[in-house]
């Protein structure tokens, strides 16, 4: 889109549209846009996924490496996140691209903060010394609003697609030596049933919308990011945006997000399973 700031007239048109429950592209306030997801399209990663929605294109790659555990959680593996959106540098975030990247990376980290999201204990090789470290990097190719939802879905798909090679530890006379086996059938998979997905609600006028486009985000006064996992638990909440929210609206938003996330999570799981079984040839980047 060309200029970042919308004129007053266009903002008013969008706000009126939301109050009449008919948004600029015809959707109702609680409708999602369709997205396509593919996994396993980047070869030298342990797991990868690409998510394409109209105007938004995110690619997530996960590489597992052996490293030292963190000091305070010595007997579990840990995750390192980074969101790189240098290629999508439209006018409104130029200049402070650093803050935008930090915001996205930290929001992602917050979801995976509690230990029981991913089974990190299975990532330990030698407790206290050698653990698997999962480097989860997201590359934003194109964005038309609702970026964090797309990234969180893509990360969940990539985790589902992750294969961690088995490691055998043999210690000749006290020297620990790790040997990574590369035959495919003793690889470990990660269980993602407790991994949450972000649903963000934008407050526009007196109502709020789900899955907002870029223009709608320009005229939203406040945004609540709600991470919901398959067991309908709220894994993290974050209010962002420059306005303030009424406590009652916050509770409403949490309720809508929880209801909206149920079909989202189920559909995602089914497509991932279907894609894994069929494992037809990946069209990758050629499908437009």
Partner 1 sequence: MTIFHSCRGHGTYLQDNKLKASVAGFVEKVGKLICVKPVKSRYNGEVGDVVVGIITEVGQRRWKVDTYSRLDSLLMLSAVNLPGGELRRRSEKDELMMRQHLTEGDLISAEVQSVHGDGSLALHTRSLKYGKLIQGTLVTVAPALIKRCKTHFHNLECGASIILGNNGYIWISPLLKEDAENQTTKSDTSTLEREIVARLRNCIMALAERQMLLYDTSITYTYEASLNYQVSQHKK
Partner 2 sequence: MRKDYQLPKFYDRLVCRTGAVSQAVGSAYIELRNTKIICAVYGPREVAKKQEFNIQATVACELKFATFSCRRRRRHIQDSQEKEYSQIIVQALQPVVRLDKYPKSQIDIFITVLQNDGSVLGGAITAASVALADSGIEIFDVAIGCCLRQIGDLSLIDPTYLEEEGRLNNEEEDEIVTNANVTIALLPSLNQVSALIMNGELDVDSTQRIIKDCLEGCIRIYPVVRECLTKSLEEKMSRN
Does residue 147 interact with partner 2 by CB under 8 A? no
**Token pair in block for residue 9:** 């007239």
* Inter-axis angle of helices 147-160 and 247-278, nearest 10: 40
- Dist CA 277 CA 49 (whole Å): 16
Of the candidates 227, 229, 192, the one whose C-alpha atom is nearest the C-alpha of residue 108 is 227
Q: Which stretch binds partner 2 (CB under 8 A): 37-45, 53-61, 173-181, 232-240?
A: 232-240
Tokens 């559909």, residue located = 267
- By a kind-dependent CB cut-off of 5 to 8 A, residue 274 interacts, out of partner 2, partner 1, none, with none
Nearer to partner 1 (CB atom), residue 25 or residue 115: 25
- Dist CA 89 CA 103 (whole Å): 15
- By a kind-dependent CB cut-off of 5 to 8 A, residue 31 interacts, out of partner 1, partner 2, none, with partner 1
- By a kind-dependent CB cut-off of 5 to 8 A, residue 168 interacts, out of partner 1, partner 2, none, with none
| Closest distance of CB 2 from partner 2, Å | 14
| Closest distance of CB 256 from partner 1, Å | 16
Does residue 205 interact with partner 2 by CB under 8 A? no
Q: Which stretch binds partner 2 (CB under 8 A): 149-157, 210-218, 239-247, 276-284?
A: 239-247
DSSP string covering 175-243, please? Answer: EEEEEE---GGG-EE---TT--EEEEEEEETTEEEES--HHHHHT-SEEEEEEE-TTS-EEEEEEESSS
| Closest distance of CB 285 from partner 1, Å | 17
- Given a contact cutoff of 8 angstroms between Cβ atoms, the answer to whether 83 and 66 are in contact is no
Tokens 């980290």, residue located = 109
**Token pair in block for residue 10:** 């266009």
Binding site for partner 1 (CB under 8 A): 1-3, 5-10, 12-13, 16-17, 20-28, 31, 33-34, 54
Does residue 114 interact with partner 2 by CB under 8 A? yes
Rounded to whole angstroms, what are the CA distances from 57 to 51, 123, 160, 186, 285?
6, 30, 19, 33, 11
**Token pair in block for residue 209:** 């919308």
Nearer to partner 2 (CB atom), residue 12 or residue 116: 116
Residues binding partner 2: number (CB under 8 A): 39
Q: Which stretch binds partner 2 (CB under 8 A): 28-36, 167-175, 198-206, 246-254?
A: 246-254
- By a kind-dependent CB cut-off of 5 to 8 A, residue 238 interacts, out of partner 1, partner 2, none, with partner 2
- Dist CA 101 CA 8 (whole Å): 28
> Which residues form the interface with partner 2 (CB under 8 A)?
5, 72, 95, 98-99, 102-103, 105-106, 110-111, 113-114, 116-117, 194, 224, 229, 232-247, 250-251, 254-255, 258
């Amino acid at each position: 889109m060309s200029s970042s700031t919308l004129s007053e007239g266009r903002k008013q048109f969008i706000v009126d549209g939301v109050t009449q429950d008919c948004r600029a592209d015809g959707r109702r306030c609680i409708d999602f846009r369709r997205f396509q997801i593919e996994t396993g399209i980047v070869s030298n990663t342990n797991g990868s996924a690409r998510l394409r929605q109209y105007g938004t294109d995110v690619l997530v790659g996960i590489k597992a490496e052996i490293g030292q555990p963190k000091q305070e959680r010595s007997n579990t593996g840990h995750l390192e996140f980074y969101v790189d959106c240098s290629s999508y540098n439209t006018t409104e975030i130029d200049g402070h691209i650093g803050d935008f990247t930090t915001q996205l990376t930290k929001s992602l980290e917050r979801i995976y903060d509690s230990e029981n999201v991913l089974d990190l204990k299975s990532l330990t090789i030698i407790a206290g010394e050698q653990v698997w470290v999962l480097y989860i990097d997201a590359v934003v190719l194109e964005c038309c609003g609702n970026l964090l939802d797309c990234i969180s879905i893509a990360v969940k798909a990539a985790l589902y697609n992750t294969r961690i090679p088995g490691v055998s530890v043999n210690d000749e006379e006290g020297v620990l030596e790790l040997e990574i086996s590369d035959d495919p059938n003793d690889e470990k998979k990660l269980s993602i049933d407790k991994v949450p997905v972000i649903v963000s609600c934008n407050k526009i006028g007196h109502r709020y919308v789900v899955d907002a486009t870029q223009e709608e985000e320009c005229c939203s006064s406040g945004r609540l990011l709600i991470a919901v996992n398959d067991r309908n638990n709220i894994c993290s909440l974050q209010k962002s945006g420059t306005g303030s929210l009424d406590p009652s609206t916050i509770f409403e938003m949490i309720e809508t997000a929880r209801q909206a996330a149920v079909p989202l999570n189920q559909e995602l799981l089914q497509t991932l399973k279907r894609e894994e079984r069929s494992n037809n040839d990946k069209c990758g980047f050629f499908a437009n």
